[in-house]
Amino acid sequence: MSDRTLAGQYFDAAIGLLQRVRDEEADAVTAAGTLLADTVADGGRLFAFGAGHSSLAAQDLVYRAGGLALVNLLAVPGAVGVDVVPATLGSALERVDGLATAVLDTSPLRAGDALVIVSLSGRNALPVEMALHARALGVRVIGVTSVAYATATTSRHTSGTFLKDHCDLVLDSKIAVGDAELVLDTVPAPFAPASTVVTSALLQAVVATAAGVLADRGVEPPLLRSGNVDGGHEWNGRIFDRYADRIFYRR
């Protein structure tokens, strides 16, 4: 496809971002994958959270063919945004103080677990408070965010801090403030977001790393297979039975 088309320009922009995170975040991806592997090997549980469209990358880790069976979605009612009416309610909930603490205190998370928090801006109260309180509970936190927001915007949390300030490890998606890769003279606003593409790829790279680290230690990674291939359901059933006490999305 010609790079003169808008579609071609978008693909080029997304590929460029993927190349950046591959090269610039390699050490962080290795560290994050190792953290997940350590958690699995030590008997911990894995959780993922994201609000708004950031929830898409978190959801992509849960009950995923080729993914780790132990990743559970930490759900905050209404925070996905597009599943409530009005959709703007989701954005409002991200700015509510105390919501993350209430969710964590009623969730199954405990010390020794790992939590992936996805927030493009990392500036809203919900992800910041989520990271703060999770670490206070002894949960290890991996933040996936665009660090650029911390210099171009202000925090909406009472501490004045960002998600990146309260994580054991940070993965920087390199997404520009505003999350729009294209501009056109005849279009009054920038368009074509790439955060979902890049963030999902980053997290799948982390999962791949975790699987490899576990295998290197002689531990079989608890991976799921597609239910659309022969034997897939039977394979997954054995994984579910083996790790029943660490999988919450089947209860």
Pick the closest to residue 53 from 146, 155, 159 (CA basis): 146
172 forms bridges with which residues in the sheet? 145
| CB distance 75 to 83 below 8 Å | no
Instruction: Quickly tell me which residue has 């579910």 as its tokens.
Output: 240
- Distance linking the first and last C-alpha atoms of the chain: 46
Instruction: Decide: pTM greater than 0.75.
Output: yes
Polymer length of the chain: 251
**Residues 74-77: contacts with CB within 8 Å, 24+ apart?**
74/47, 74/48, 74/49, 74/103, 74/107, 74/109, 74/115, 75/49, 76/49, 76/51, 76/100, 76/103, 76/126
Confidence of residue 83 (pLDDT cuts 50, 70, 90): confident
Q: Tell me the torsion sign for CA atoms 215, 18, 193, 163.
A: positive
pLDDT in tens, 182-230: 999 999 999 999 999 999 999 999 999 999 999 999 999 999 999 999 9
170 forms bridges with which residues in the sheet? 143
Q: Provide the token pair at 135.
A: 């670490």
pLDDT at 1 over 60: no
Residues contacting 94, CB < 8 A, separation 6+: 51, 52, 79, 124, 125, 126, 127
pLDDT at residue number 3 = 58
pLDDT in tens, 109-123: 999 999 999 999 999
Please report which residue ranges of the chain form alpha helices under DSSP H.
6-24, 26-41, 54-59, 88-93, 99-105, 125-136, 149-152, 195-216, 232-242
Alpha-carbon span 234 to 99, nearest angstrom: 39
Alpha-carbon span 170 to 117, nearest angstrom: 10
SS3 label, residue 89:
helix
pLDDT at 2 over 80: no
pLDDT at 66 over 60: yes
